[in-house]
Amino acid sequence: MNGHFVSGNLRLARYLVRPAGRPGPLPGLIVCHGFPIGPLDARQSAGTFPELVDRAANDLGWVGMTFNFRGCGQSEGDFSLQGWVNDLRAAIDHLIEETSPSGIWLVGTNTGGSLATCVAADDPRVRGIALLGPRADFDDWAAQPRRFLEHAREIGAIRTPGFPRNFDEWGRELRRFRPTDAARRFAPRP
């Protein structure tokens, strides 16, 4: 990662690259990682994504950015679904402020792809999305929120003792975002 931006009161790590020698507004790409899967995997989230962003810049001439959602990598905070949505919205704002792109395209894997769909559906600045293995919903997490909370702690996505302050609200967030509904709202954009 080569910098940071702020989401709410949290500092999030990001990697931002501009293609050399390309003037003017360029298309902007944000690559979103998925939810970590293994023990302490949250610390390694998006570890190889800077290489992908570099390729988009060098081969396609796009401005590219990837970042660590809260609770992952070098970013502050603890995982919550609403928090990750807020983080992606802040990432879009940051890319626009830093680079004035001609448009924004989102690429996301797993949970990152699902939330890219949810955010893009309500943000006309997003011109297109590409998804790799997105979740259709978060119902399996919502069905057993305490078990999922423990899993999030085990993998390091939740690090703060006593988080979340309001478990019921944290659990409700798992049902709030519906990627399949968002995909219908996003259409006909690609």
Q: What is the pLDDT of residues 89-130, one digit of tens each?
A: 999 999 999 999 999 999 999 999 999 999 999 999 999 999
Residue 40 pLDDT exceeds 60: no
pLDDT at site 138? 97
Kindly calculate the radius of gyration of the chain based on its CA atoms and give it in whole angstroms: 16
When the pLDDT of each residue in the chain is averaged and rounded to a whole number, the result is 94
Q: How do the domains of the chain map onto residue ranges?
A: 3-186
| Fold designation for 3-186 | Rossmann fold (3.40.50)
Work out whether the CA dihedral 187, 29, 68, 96 comes out positive or negative: negative
Tell me the range of 17-21, 84-88, 186-190 where mean pLDDT is highest. 84-88
Q: CA 161, CA 71: separation in Å to the nearest integer? A: 13
Helix (H) or strand (E) holding 11: strand 10-17
| Averaged pLDDT, 169-185 | 96
* Residue 45's pLDDT band (cuts 50, 70, 90): low
Q: Distance of CA 172 to CAs 65, 88, 167, 169, 175, Å?
A: 30, 19, 9, 5, 6
Lookup result for tokens 């954009």: 189
Strand, helix or coil for residue 7: strand
- E strands present in 18-167: 27-32, 63-67, 103-109, 126-132
- With CA atoms as reference, report the closest residue to 106 among 188, 189, 29, 17: 29
d(CA 33, CA 41): 12
